[in-house]
Amino acid sequence: MIWNVVLLVVLVICLIVEVRRIIQQKFKRDLIVFIAVWGLAVVCLTAHMLELPGFKPLDWIAAVTQPINKLMP
């Protein structure tokens, strides 16, 4: 249980540091991708903390890549 809290703290620190850096560089697409992957990590960590069954690898890869593919010209 303590590792879940440590990972959550690391994710929050990563969010703060990286979002500032991406905003300074003004890359909207990078920010969207980062937030999507970060959100997926938080959802997976929360599901693990609640002892819910996890995603199959191909399911979460598809969940991340489909919205990104829609953004591509």
Confidence band, pLDDT 50/70/90 cuts, at residue 23: confident
Structural domain count, the chain:
1
Contact at 8 Å (CB) between 51 and 62? no
Range of the domain at 11: 2-71
Residue 55 pLDDT: 63
Is the Cα torsion angle 19, 23, 25, 27 positive or negative in sign? Answer: positive
Q: What is the pLDDT of residues 39-57, one digit of tens each?
A: 988 888 888 888 877 667 7
Contact 7, 44 (CB under 8 A): no
* DSSP states along 5-51: HHHHHHHHHHHHHHHHHHHHHT-HHHHHHHHHHHHHHHHHHHHHHTT
